[in-house]
Amino acid sequence: SSINQLITDFRKRDWPQFFLGDDPMERASQVAEEAHGVEARLLAQADEIMAHRFNILGSGLTDLGSMIPWRSDFISGHEWPMEHFSRLDIVNLDAGFDIKVPWELSRFHHATTLGQIYSFTGDEKYAREFVNQLADWWSQNPAGFGPNWANAMEAAIRSTNWIWAYEFLRGSSALDDEFLVSFLKSMLQHARYIASHLESGWPRSNHLIADLCGLVGLGLFLSPAHESRLWISKGLCLLMREMNLQVLEDGADYEGSTSYHLFVAEMVLWTVAYCDINSVSVPEVIRQSLARMLDVISGLLRPDGNIPLFGDCDSGRWLVLESDRSSLPSLQDPRGVLGLAAVLFDRPDWADSL
C-alpha cells in the first residue's frame, strides 16, 4: 500500500529462505574453523576491489580509477554510449573492441567477495563500497540503456550475484531504506527484462539456460511480488524443456564443450538448491538431467581439480564464491559444484572424487 509498508514487509519476511541462514557472520565463523586461510585470501581480493583494480578476461590487474567505466572496454578504450541497447553496435569484429569486457565486469562477481569479507570482519566499508558501486552502475546503466542491457544472460548473472551480495550484507546499516527501494526497483527491472528477452532462438545454448535460472532466482527473491509466481513457473517449465533438449542421454551438454557443460550444471544446480530450500517443486526431468551432467563432471575431474578442456571456453561462472582458484587455470571450480551436488543429491561418491 506504500513504500514504507514495502520496506517493512520485505525486511521482516520469513520466506523465501536463503542459503546463509539468519546470520551470515555465524556461518563465516564456521567456515573459518574448517578452512584456514579463507579470510586472508578474501581480504587480499577485497583490497583490490576497494581500489577498483580488476583482472578481467586476462587483462592483468588494472586500475580502473575512482569511477568504474561500466560501459567501456577499458583494454581498447572503446566506450558505448548511454543509448537504448537496440541502437548500439554491440559486436564489430573489425573495430578492435570487445563487448565481453564491460559484460564481465558488470556481472558483479566481485560483489560476492565484498559480501563474504563483510561476513568475516563486519567492516562497514565493504558494505558502503557495494552500495556505492550499485548506485554508480544504476546511474550509468538505466534500465534498457547501454551495452549491459543487450543480453538477458548478463542480466541474469548480474542479478544472481547482487542477490548473494545483498544476503551477505543485509545486516549492514549501509543498506538503508533508500538503497533498498532502489535495489528492489532494479531487481524488478532485471526480472521483467529477462522475461521479455529470453534468448530462445536456434540453436539453443547455455544463454537460454542462464536466462531461465535467473528468472527463477529473481522470482524467488522478489516474492511475493505478484509477477514472481509467473517467473518461477515459466522459468522451471522452460528449463525442463531445455534440459531435455540440451542434455544428451549420456549426460553430456550438446554444445560439445566441457566448459559450457560445467557452466550449465553450475547454474542449474544452484537454481534447484534455491528451490529446494524453499519447498518449490522442481520437475523430475530437470533433476535427472542434472544428475547425469554431474556424473560426467565427476568422471572428468582430474587430480589437480581441473577438467579437460574440449571445445569453446570463456571461463564463464554463475557464482564465484571463495575458493582456491589460483590453482585452476580455467578459473572454473568443478570441485565446488560437486561438493554442493553431493549434499543436494545425497551422492557421497561425488564428494569422494574431490
What are the backbone dihedrals phi and psi of residue 145, each rounded to the nearest 5 degrees, phi first? -120, 135
Q: Residue 204 carries which side chain, given as an amino acid letter?
A: R
DSSP conformational letter for 218: H
Q: Residue holding cell 540503456?
A: 145
Closest CA to 243 of 251, 330, 200, 147: 251
Q: Residue holding cell 551422492?
A: 347
Reduced to 3 states (helix: H, G, I; strand: E, B; else coil), residue 48 is helix
Beta strand 72-73 pairing with 78-79: antiparallel
Query: Model pTM?
Result: 0.96
Q: By the 8 A CB rule, do 206 and 263 touch?
A: yes
Alpha carbons 104 and 115: distance in angstroms, whole number: 19
Q: What pLDDT, on a 0 to 100 scale, did the predictor assign at position 328?
A: 64
pLDDT in tens, 235-284: 999 999 999 999 999 999 999 999 999 999 999 999 999 999 999 999 99
Q: Where are the alpha helices (DSSP H) in 141-257?
A: 152-169, 177-196, 206-221, 228-246
pLDDT in tens, 324-351: 556 666 667 898 899 999 999 999 999 9
Q: Residue holding cell 530450500?
A: 277
Confidence bin at 217 (pLDDT 50/70/90) = very high
Q: What pLDDT, on a 0 to 100 scale, did the predictor assign at position 22?
A: 81
pLDDT in tens, 120-156: 999 999 999 999 999 999 999 999 999 999 999 999 9
Alpha carbons 209 and 255: distance in angstroms, whole number: 12
Confidence bin at 6 (pLDDT 50/70/90) = very high
The three cell numbers of residue 254 are 550438446
Reduced to 3 states (helix: H, G, I; strand: E, B; else coil), residue 140 is helix
Q: Where are the alpha helices (DSSP H) in 17-150?
A: 24-34, 38-50, 100-105, 109-121, 124-140
Please write down the HEC assignment for all residues of 294-309.
HHHHHHHCCCCCCCCC
Q: By the 8 A CB rule, do 90 and 100 touch?
A: no
Q: How far is CA 345 from CA 17, 317, 337, 339, in A?
A: 19, 21, 12, 10
Q: What pLDDT, on a 0 to 100 scale, did the predictor assign at position 329?
A: 63
